[in-house]
Amino acid sequence: MSRSGVITFKGNPLTLAGEELQVGQAAPDFTLHYYDDGLKTITPADLKGKPTILNVVPSLDTPVCATQTKKFNEELGTLGEQVNAVTVSLDLPFAQGRFCGAEGITNLRWGSAYQNRTFGQNYGVLIEELKLLTRAVVVLDADGKVTYAEIVPEVTAEPNYGAALAALKRQL
């Protein structure tokens, strides 16, 4: 399934692959990869038991994505171990690790959807024309149900941090 007209990139309309997430649905399946003394994985099962925020960005190697990740990192510092927080992109796990280390990102884990792009398909955030993830934020409750989902209409704009963080805090 494809959805046209949901997002733009610098004003140009693009197409998203997959269905739109619905509040109340179970978190779709995924396997993300990260590097920590070897390649390791993150799945929805790993996130159950705590509210989770998924900070989805096209690439950490761009200014808006870097800003978004740094802002969430700063805001999530007060919540500590009460929540799971993961930045998701198609950047390779090694590049994600370098970025997060260089920028002092300690309140978010990172996960790469590079291997098969099923995260993008399953969460309805894969830009067909660019083969990148669009900018989005998803909040899951402790049982893995979607409680908030924002797809930012213009890929170069930032998400609604306040609404996403409020949705996460309501789960505490």
The residues carrying an active-site annotation are 65
- Tokens linked to 53: 């925020």
Identify the CA nearest to 137 among candidates 78, 81, 69.
69
CB 149 within 8 A of CB 140: no
d(CA 101, CA 127): 28
| 162 exposure class (CB count in 10 Å sphere: 0-12, 13-18, 19+) | exposed
In the block, tokens 């950047």 appear at 91
d(CA 115, CA 121): 13
**CA-derived radius of gyration, the chain:** 15
Among the residues of 37-139, which ranges form H helices? 44-47, 63-76, 93-102, 118-122
